[in-house]
Structures are given as structure tokens and as C-alpha cells.
């Protein structure tokens, strides 16, 4: 998948994920995605995103047995359609500074 989705994002089946990213000042600053409700899809994505380096990092940090046990526990849950999203506040503040918005907003009088 060439859109670099996180492992629990629903896949569209065409090499993309059901997600949207807002790029501000050259960085992904705001993002939202539909979460997968398919345990098999999530397991495959967990082990293959970033060419397996994500799973390898967790295995190396916490031990493969622990990581796989926690993954299996999570994937055994009943899933339902859901979405999630977030705003990278430090990236947003950096963009505001880059575009000098903080100074403009500070000088506004309402």
C-alpha cells in the first residue's frame, strides 16, 4: 500500500486506505481514517507495514511473544465500523509559525 497507512486502517482493495491526511507546511498535520473491522487484514498489515520494520521494532523492544499475545488478544475482539483521527499540535504550531499566523492572530483585536 503506497499511502503508508497504519495497520488498523481499513483497506480499499486498490492499494489505498480509507483515510485522509491534511498536509500543512509540508507535513501531515491532521489525519482521519476508517478503522478496519477485519482481524485477518489487520494482522497482515501489522506484520507488513514499513516492510515489517514496525513489527520488528515492537518485537525487539517488548519481545515477540508478548507483542504477538497482545496482538492476538486485540484481534479476538468483536469489531464494528468506526473512525479515528487526530491533530498533530506541534506540527500545527510549527506551520502557524512558518506562515507567521501566530503573530497575526496575537495582534488581532475583536
Residue 94, C-alpha cell as written in the block: 510549527
Give the CA count within 13 Å in the CB-facing half-sphere of 106.
6
* CA atoms of 70 and 5, how far apart (whole Å): 21
* Structural domain span for residue 63: 19-106
Q: Work out how many domains the chain is built from and give that number.
A: 1
Q: Please give the pLDDT value at position 97.
A: 86
Q: Please give the pLDDT value at position 110.
A: 58
Per-residue buried b or exposed e for 53-90, using 16+ beta carbons within 10 Å of the residue's own CB: ebbeebeeeeeeeebbeebeeeeeeeeeeeeeeeebee
**Is residue 6 in a domain?**
no
**Is residue 10 in a domain?**
no
**Is residue 26 in a domain?**
yes
Q: Please give the pLDDT value at position 31.
A: 94
Task: List the chain residues with pLDDT less than 50.
Answer: none
**Is residue 49 in a domain?**
yes
**Is residue 4 in a domain?**
no
Q: Please give the pLDDT value at position 30.
A: 96
Amino acid at each position: 500500500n503506497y499511502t503508508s497507512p497504519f495497520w488498523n486502517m481499513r483497506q480499499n482493495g486498490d492499494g489505498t486506505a480509507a483515510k485522509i491526511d491534511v498536509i500543512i507546511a509540508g507535513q501531515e498535520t491532521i489525519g482521519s481514517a476508517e478503522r478496519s473491522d477485519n482481524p485477518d487484514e489487520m494482522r497482515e498489515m501489522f506484520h507488513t507495514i514499513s516492510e515489517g520494520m514496525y513489527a520488528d521494532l515492537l518485537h525487539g523492544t517488548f519481545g515477540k511473544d508478548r507483542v504477538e499475545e497482545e496482538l492476538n488478544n486485540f484481534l479476538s475482539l468483536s469489531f464494528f465500523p468506526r473512525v479515528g483521527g487526530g491533530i498533530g499540535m506541534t506540527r500545527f504550531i510549527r506551520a502557524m509559525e512558518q506562515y507567521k499566523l501566530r503573530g497575526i492572530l496575537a495582534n488581532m483585536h475583536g
